[in-house]
Structure 1
Amino acid sequence: MYTVGMSKVVEEQITALPAEALVPFHEVTVFLQVAPWNGKPFVGERPDAPMRTRTFGNGGSGMVSYLIIEYRRMVEIIHVVWYG
């Protein structure tokens, strides 16, 4: 299991999410605790890089960008955005 961390800025981004995004976002945080390496690479040319993204919500309306800090078994959420 990985620990999920976030900054105050990310907490504000989560607070700004619409109600329909909250359950899918929670599902993403569970995913990050269990299998963060299964997210898509942030930069396609660096498939093994620890910076990753994961979409969530209906049709992928939201996206989480995160950094995996393997030696600490930690995932730091960098940015949360909702396009819906």
Structure 2
Amino acid sequence: MYTVGKSKQVDEQITGLPAEALPAFHEVTVFLQVAPWNGNPFLGERPDAPMRTQTFGDGGSGLITYLIVEYRRLVEIIQVAWYG
């Protein structure tokens, strides 16, 4: 199990999500606790890099960018974006 961390800036981005996005966002944070390496590589040419992304919401309207710090079993959310 991984711990999910986030900054004040990310907290503000989460607060700005529309109400319909919140259940899907919660779902993806559970995913990050259990299987963060299953996210998509941030850079396609570096598929094993710890910087990853994961979409959420209907049709992938949301995107989380995060960094896995394996030795600490930590997933640090870098950015949350909503395009819906």
The answer for the alignment partner of 1:70 in structure 2 is 70
The answer for the alignment partner of 2:59 in structure 1 is 59
Deviation of the 1:47 alpha carbon: 0.1
* Aligned mates of 1:27, 1:15 — CA distance in 2: 16
Deviation of the 1:10 alpha carbon: 0.1
* Aligned mates of 2:54, 2:42 — CA distance in 1: 9
Q: TM-score, normalised by structure 1?
A: 1.00
The answer for the alignment partner of 1:23 in structure 2 is 23
* Aligned mates of 1:76, 1:37 — CA distance in 2: 13
Deviation of the 1:28 alpha carbon: 0.4
Deviation of the 1:66 alpha carbon: 0.1
Query: C-alpha deviations, 1:40-81, integer Å up to 9, x for none?
Result: 000000000000000000000000000000000000000000
The answer for the alignment partner of 2:40 in structure 1 is 40
Structure 2: stretches of 5+ with no match in the other structure: none
Structure 1: stretches of 5+ with no match in the other structure: none
* Equivalent pairs, count: 84
Moved over 3 A (4+): none
* Aligned mates of 1:27, 1:74 — CA distance in 2: 17
* Aligned mates of 1:28, 1:65 — CA distance in 2: 11
Q: TM-score, normalised by structure 2?
A: 1.00
> Which one-letter code corresponds to 1:39 in the other structure?
G
